[in-house]
Amino acid sequence: MPGALAGRRAVITGASRGIGAAVAARLAGEGARLVLASRDAGELRAAAPAGALCVAADVRQPASVDGLFTAAAEAFGGRLDLLVNCAGVCYLEPLAEMALDQFDEMMAANVRGTLLCVRGAVPLLRAAGGGDIVNMSSALAARPITAGKGGYGASKRAVDAMSEALAAELDPDGIAVHTLAPTWVDTPMRRALFAEDGTWMAADDVADALVFLLTRPARVAVQALRLLPRDRYHQR
Ligand SMILES: NC(=O)c1ccc[n+]([C@@H]2O[C@H](COP(=O)([O-])OP(=O)(O)OC[C@H]3O[C@@H](n4cnc5c(N)ncnc54)[C@H](OP(=O)(O)O)[C@@H]3O)[C@@H](O)[C@H]2O)c1
């Protein structure tokens, strides 16, 4: 039986591990055709589902993003149905002490990288007659930002702001722009940041939500989908 996303042509950034790798596996299982990106080509190839095209790309760098979308255009005949912007980094330090290069990397990867990939994808999405862009935000961006999360929170609020404007700007082209905003997801990123036990969502939970978003009826718009572990719902 064909999958729910059979033949859908997708670019996924940050696909070598964590949420992006889970999304790639889930979309491949639903029949999507994939072009995957991250900086570490070896890790990306090891994680990639069979048949996916892997492109080493740094989303902070315009030339690197150009290379990614040139490869996607060649693989998909100049058309694209879906961009999932999962590439991102997180440093949690008080703003007054945070190293500027950490702040800059979050802005470059999470904010500028999202924008560069949107710009790379839009011509291909237009050529396909429309499609979807899903930008990875964080559920923390919708709450008061707490100590230590100012830089990361600023980057994800910027993703939200760009996504809202892009949704309006690209709607006439039939391109729907959404944010997927989880928090407390058990990935290598979170393991590098938090040792604590407790309830975490699985990266597969986020991938499942993305499939829900992509298989909605055409009359439905999903502006933002926020996902939290149930027993942390009231925790900041
Ligand atoms: N885990 C959570 O609880 C959580 C919650 C809310 C939102 N998010 C967001 O979800 C996304 C994925 O997070 P994750 O937890 O899966 O993180 P992760 O396990 O660290 O994976 C991050 C991915 O992004 C790639 N990446 C990082 N910088 C990049 C760059 N400059 N260019 C290209 N690829 C780059 C990494 O590969 P390379 O290092 O090889 O490039 C990797 O594939 C991020 O945007 C994160 O902010 C995560």
What is residue 194's predicted lDDT score, i.e. its pLDDT?
Answer: 87
Rg, the chain, Cα only = 17
91 among known catalytic residues: no
The CB of 141 under 6 Å from ligand 1? The reply is: no
Q: Tell me, which fold does domain 9-232 have in CATH?
A: Rossmann fold (3.40.50)
Q: At what angle do helices 113-127 and 150-170 cross, to 10 degrees?
A: 20
The CB of 182 under 6 Å from ligand 1? The reply is: yes
CA distances from 69 to 63, 82, 110 (A): 10, 12, 18
Q: List the beta bridge partners of residue 83.
A: 11, 133
Which residues lie below 8 Å from residue 48, measured CB to CB, with a gap of 6+? Answer: 15, 24, 34, 36, 54
Res. 191: pLDDT tops 90: no
Q: For 87-138, how does the pLDDT look when each residue is reduced to its tens digit (9 = 90+)?
A: 999 999 999 999 999 999 999 999 999 999 999 999 999 999 999 999 999 9
Which residues lie below 8 Å from residue 214, measured CB to CB, with a gap of 6+? Answer: 4, 5, 8, 82, 132, 134
Q: For 46-87, how does the pLDDT look when each residue is reduced to its tens digit (9 = 90+)?
A: 999 999 999 999 999 999 999 999 999 999 999 999 999 999
Catalytic residue among 69, 76, 103, 152, which?
152
Atom of ligand 1 nearest to the CA of 189: 20
The domain locations on the chain are 9-232
Res. 213: pLDDT tops 70: yes
What spacing in Å lies between the alpha carbon of 37 and ligand 1's midpoint? Answer: 11
pTM of the complete model beyond 0.85: yes
